Amino acid sequence: MYLPSEWHQQAFVQLTWPHKDTDWAPVLADAIDCFCEIARQITRFEPLWVIAQHPEEAKRALEAHKVCLDSITILPCDTNDTWARDHGFITCIDVQSKKVILNDFQFNGWGLKFAANNDNQINKAIFPQIANFYQSHGTEAEYKKFLHFVFEGGSIESDGEGTLMVTTSCLLSENRNNTMCQEDIELYLKQCFHAKRVFWIQHSWLAGDDTDGHIDTVARFCSPTSIAYVKCDDENDEHYVELQAMEEELLALRTADGKPYTLYPLPLPDACYDTDGERLPATHANFLIINGAILVPTYNQPEKDEQALAQLRQAFPDREVIGIDCNVLIIQHGSLHCSTMQYPALPT
């Protein structure tokens, strides 16, 4: 059993839909516009599952934006928010038994910061439909509940070959698993995902980030030998020292065969602020890898957006690289990868 990389062939992607009873209410129309564009691009390449508290509203919005529903499954479920990356299943593949293992970890609103009572129950509610989907494609699906471990999909990166990458700031947060030390958590991760190595990144801070430094906001595996990461060259920016330190950590990492990783620096976007003057966690590293494409968050900053897209074209030369304006998503302190969760297909 192993945790596949994100570039592994996918069965479908999940979105959890925004609605008026979430924190999206003040900007709901703009949020729905962004989710519809994400949906449009995903369905060009693979099926999409939409989890919606108000399914008919989600359907009408998709139709109004002329998103083809042929590849979309809409499931009704009560939700607190929309961050599927963190409340969704983290799915492993068991090659021997020819199964996908849908791991349902505890989600506590990023260390008890926000309500998560509904989001923490989504996986159990939708598992029967997901199991039926996999079964219809010749694959068995097994539900596995982790009752006493708080864990979010945005907090882990996998190269699909036994190496995981996480951050100390998130996984050692006092409000997640404070009865476990770093050694305990590393052993637990290796057991859960049959991993051989865990890279602990100690520098991962972005202003406005509610996740305590999820790895998917700052550094991402692009292959077993390459990593894309956020780089800051402005000595006057508040992130400069931290991101320079992270770059040094990444330069010191070695692949499984002992070689340095190929690094693809992504420019830190110019500072974005909310109406209260709080800096928002804009990052191009929060991209989503799907079958045949990379969906990249952009922030209406043409020069830096294009630099990021160009770097990811080098990192993924065999995939279409597509920018999607995610300025509205960072208002709620997340971005494109945070709002999605991919489900792997069983290798043929």
What are the extents of the domains in the chain?
10-344
Sequence-separated (6 or more) residues with CB below 8 Å from residue 21:
53
Distances (CA, A) of 180 to 176, 184, 214: 9, 6, 18
- The mean per-residue pLDDT over the stretch 186-190 comes to 98
Domain covering 10-344: architecture: 5-stranded Propeller (3.75)
| pTM of the complete model | 0.97
Q: Which of 2-6, 54-58, 135-139, 243-247 has the lowest mean pLDDT?
A: 135-139
Tens digit of pLDDT for each residue in 190-232?
A: 999 999 999 999 999 999 999 999 999 999 999 999 999 999 9
Mean pLDDT, residues 308-327 taken together: 98
Structure-block tokens of residue 106 = 């505890």
* pLDDT tens-digit series, residues 248-271: 999 999 999 999 999 999 999 999
| Mean pLDDT, rounded, for 106-122 | 94
CA distance 133 to 151: 25
Strand partners, 124: none
Query: What's the mean per-residue pLDDT of the chain?
Result: 97
What does the block give as tokens for 223? 């292959």
Average pLDDT over residues 47-57: 98
